[in-house]
Amino acid sequence: DARVTQTPRHKVTEMGQEVTMRCQPILGHNTVFWYRQTMMQGLELLAYFRNRAPLDDSGMPKDRFSAEMPDATLATLKIQPSEPRDSAVYFCASGLVGGDTEAFFGQGTRLTVV
Amino acid sequence: AQKVTQAQTEISVVEKEDVTLDCVYETRDTTYYLFWYKQPPSGELVFLIRRNSFDEQNEISGRYSWNFQKSTSSFNFTITASQVVDSAVYFCALSVVDSSYKLIFGSGTRLLVRP
């Protein structure tokens, strides 16, 4: 079964440290999404890419978050410096716009910033 | 603007009962997709179904069925003869067919099926 792979699955870090989360989308998918899930805000869209180009990252705090797709097999979400309020589960999803449009989600990265 | 409302925060049923999860959406677009995802205790988001705005036919898949009504902007999900393994958080989502196809999620309904 093709699936979206996220690493790490869990991350505990100290406030102020840099955190990098990685995502391997499903081969052939042209769209990658990053979502954040918290109890208070639910599932929020942070950023998404189409054919590796960023289309919208308005959901991200620009001063500390950055998202990139260095190649078609890797998407990264970086937080620098991290803060306790960044503690959440971060999901990556990929989909094929123009074909099946459902997004397939990875298992998420549970981030705890202490 | 698009919005998805899942008014039921939590539902508790006894095994074998039928249960319906409500979803109401808002959009001015005429072309869109509606989705249901399941999030079991393990945390992953599992795709269940996608419907496009031009197809109002109800769909049944085993114990799951979906009722799409454009007149009331609703896309409800029914589980027949619920089982303990159905316990999860269920999310309804909307995707508008514009340049983004981004998913807008409701707040989710937590379903607890008791033995």
Which range has the top average pLDDT, A51-60, B35-44, B56-65, B96-105?
B35-44
Q: Which of B14, B21, B3 is nearest to B75 (CA)?
A: B21
Once rounded to an integer, what is the mean pLDDT over residues A66-78?
95
Residue B37 has phi, psi (to 5 degrees) of -125, 150
SS3 state of residue B23: coil
- A88 Cα to chain B: minimum distance (Å): 12
Closest chain A residue to B6 measured between Cα atoms? A42
Mark which residues 62-81 of A lie under 8 Å from B by CB: none
**CA distances for A106 relative to A17, A113, B9, angstroms:** 24, 21, 24
Question: Per DSSP, what are the bridge partners of residue A35?
Answer: A45, A91
Interface of A with B in 8-37 (CB under 8 A): 31, 33
Asked if B43 lies within 8 A of A106 by C-beta distance, the reply is: no
pLDDT band (50, 70, 90) for residue A73: very high
Query: Residue B19: beta bridge partners?
Result: B79
Report strand pairing: B64-69 vs B59-61: antiparallel
Cα separation of A34 and A16, whole Å?
Answer: 22
**Residues B3-57: pLDDT tens digits?**
999 999 999 999 999 999 999 999 998 888 999 999 999 999 999 998 889 888 8
